Amino acid sequence: MPPPGVPTITNITLGWLLRLRWVGVAAQITAILITGVILQLELPWMPLLAIIGVTALSNVLLQLFAKSLWRQGEGTLAAVIAGDVLLLTALIYLTGGASNPFTSFYLVLVALAAMSLSLRGLTAIVALATAAYFFVYYNGIPLRGPGGIGEIGCPAYSLHLQGMAVAFFLTALFVAYFVRRMLRSLQMREADLAAAETRAARADQFSALAALAAGVAHELGSPLGTIAVAAHELEISLAKNGQTGPLEDATLIRQEVERCRGILDRLDRRSTAGTGDPAEPCTAEKLIREVRNALPPPLLPRLITHDHTKGAVLNLPRLPVVQALVVLVQNACDADEQNKPVELEITLSENELLLAVLDRGPGMSSVAEKHAGEPFFTTKPPRQGMGLGLFLVRTLATQLGGEMTHLPREGGGTIAILHLPAASLVS
């Protein structure tokens, strides 16, 4: 479904069909004038003009109510194309039947249906056009004119018409098939382009974040270091003089400065890590061990791990993957205030490597599900998160050709899964 304000293929086709119908009205009037006036064929003028009038009137009504009809989508377009098949059938029936060379116009309508309708709608239009063709083949009114113009005089003409009928049916099928395949290829190309644009935009975000982090760390690192040194010297001086109250304030200043420096270091490290780390052989057991080593000690008793890879050797950027798993485990622990166990499962199938972290927290809200992974979006309280962890995990997944998803866990909680393609990861 395209964004609001962006027309669908059906809407675009309906707009062009309205223009095509005006061209058709002009062409029909020109054709009957040439055949009736120049070639002097006997034509049923009143029925023909009535059919052309119906076409013009219906087009006016369609344009007047175009916006409301567009909202109905495929149903309106299918009805218009089917109506045009019937109007064309009436015109051909009155002007020679299958001998009328304009029977090929059925294929234009079949092509329009193939470009814009579902398989069910396309099948209905192909069936209707074929039935209409065979109707005019057996029931068309032959034309008459001076000197035998328009009359059928060749003994083999009947066989020729039968061949035209078979050729029409096969051509309609081929037009529908190839146009449909072409449309599907174009749609896949558009989807690939959209995915590539999304990856490029995410890469731009990552680059901008890395540049911002490096700049912030550089600009604030020096003054924070100076403040830390001054606070430490002040602590020593106040301790010598026995000034307990000011000493506590100086200690608090130094601690907060160290906290700020830690945040800057973490921001710089997270935003620049993993962008070019080479793949290296490792096992799930090694990943789990390094995740445990990187976790804060209070979280270790809560982590339960499951290795379902049967010792397979994986080929991946080890440190970035470990950092991503640490982020997911820490988020899972933070989500559950009752300190329930958090599980890390590593599963390898023929198609992908699944790194799943399961918690028993309250689950993700609809807002969190929509924005999880966006830079600087966080559901944590102020001063407890920067909103970069999931963004970096999602960026890593994209770089490795995978994705990150969140699923609700049966019985409560969330399952965060890092999907990575197994074909490029197994040695």
User: What's residue 112's pLDDT?
Assistant: 79
Q: Supply the pLDDT for residue 34.
A: 83
Helix (H, G, I), strand (E, B) or coil at 351: coil
pLDDT at 131: 92
Interval 167-180: pLDDT, tens: 567 667 766 765 67
pLDDT at 379: 57
At residue 150, the pLDDT reads 47
Domain boundaries, the chain: 9-153, 201-272, 280-424
Query: Can you tell me whether residue 31 is helix, strand or coil?
Result: helix
- Residue found under tokens 């890092």: 418
308, β-bridge pairs:
347
Listing DSSP states for 204-243 in one string gives: HHHHHHHHHHHHHHHHHHHHHHHHHHHHHHHHHHHHHHT-
- The Cα–Cα gap between 381 and 396 comes to 25
What local confidence, expressed as pLDDT, does residue 252 receive? 79
Give the span between the Cα atoms of 38 and 121, in whole angstroms. Answer: 40
Determine the Cα–Cα distance for residues 343 and 411; give it in Å rounded to an integer: 14
**Distance (Å, whole) CA 278 – CA 273:** 12
Return the closest-CA partner of residue 346 out of 306, 314, 315.
306
Residue among 396, 321, 320, 309 nearest 350 (CA): 309
pTM for the model stands at: 0.44
CATH code of the region 280-424? 3.30.565.10
pLDDT value of position 72: 60
Backbone angles phi, psi at 265, to 5 degrees: -65, -40
Beta bridge partners of 24: none
The CA distance from 328 to 177, in Å, is 47
Segment holding 312, helix H or strand E: none
| Closest of 237, 240, 330 to residue 292, by C-alpha | 330
Q: How far is Cα 92 from Cα 174, in angstroms, rounded to an integer? A: 23
Q: How many CB atoms lie within 10 A of CB 399?
A: 18
* Structure-block tokens of residue 91: 């015109």
**What's CA 116's distance to the chain center, in Å?**
19
Spacing of C-alpha 120 from chain mean position: 23
pLDDT at residue 362, as a whole number: 78
Task: Find, among 8, 24, 27, 2, the residue nearest to 76 by Cα.
Answer: 8
- Say if CB 401 and CB 424 are below 8 A apart: yes
- Tell me the three state secondary structure of residue 73: coil
Q: Is residue 378 within a helix (H) or strand (E), and if so which, with residue range? A: none
Bridge partners of residue 357, in order along the sequence: 344, 416
Question: 127 φ, ψ to 5°?
Answer: -65, -40
Alpha-carbon distances of 128 from 15, 24, 72, 81, 374, rounded to whole Å: 22, 20, 22, 10, 50
Q: Residue 60: how many CB atoms within 10 A of its CB?
A: 11
Q: How far apart are CA 333 and CA 288, in angstroms?
A: 16
pLDDT at 90 (0 to 100) = 93
Res 159: pLDDT: 45
- Residues with Cβ < 8 Å from 22, sequence gap 6 or more? 56, 59
pLDDT per residue rounded down to tens, the chain (427 residues)? 454 445 566 666 677 777 778 887 888 888 888 878 887 778 889 999 999 999 999 888 888 876 665 556 677 788 888 999 999 899 989 888 877 777 878 888 888 788 778 888 889 999 999 999 889 888 888 777 665 544 544 444 554 465 466 556 766 776 676 567 656 766 776 777 777 777 677 666 666 666 555 666 656 767 777 787 777 777 788 777 777 777 777 777 877 777 777 666 655 555 544 445 677 888 889 999 998 988 888 888 889 999 988 888 888 888 888 888 888 888 888 877 778 888 999 988 877 888 999 988 877 666 666 656 555 556 555 555 555 667 777 877 877 888 888 888 887 888 888 888 875 565 5
The closest alpha carbon to 337, from 302, 369, 371, belongs to 302
pLDDT at residue 417, rounded to an integer: 87
* Residue 317 pLDDT: 85
Q: Which two tokens stand for residue 416?
A: 């965060």
Separation of alpha carbons 106 and 86, rounded Å: 10
Per-residue H/E/C for 384-412: CCCCCHHHHHHHHHHHCCCEEEEEECCCC
3-class secondary-structure state, position 81: helix
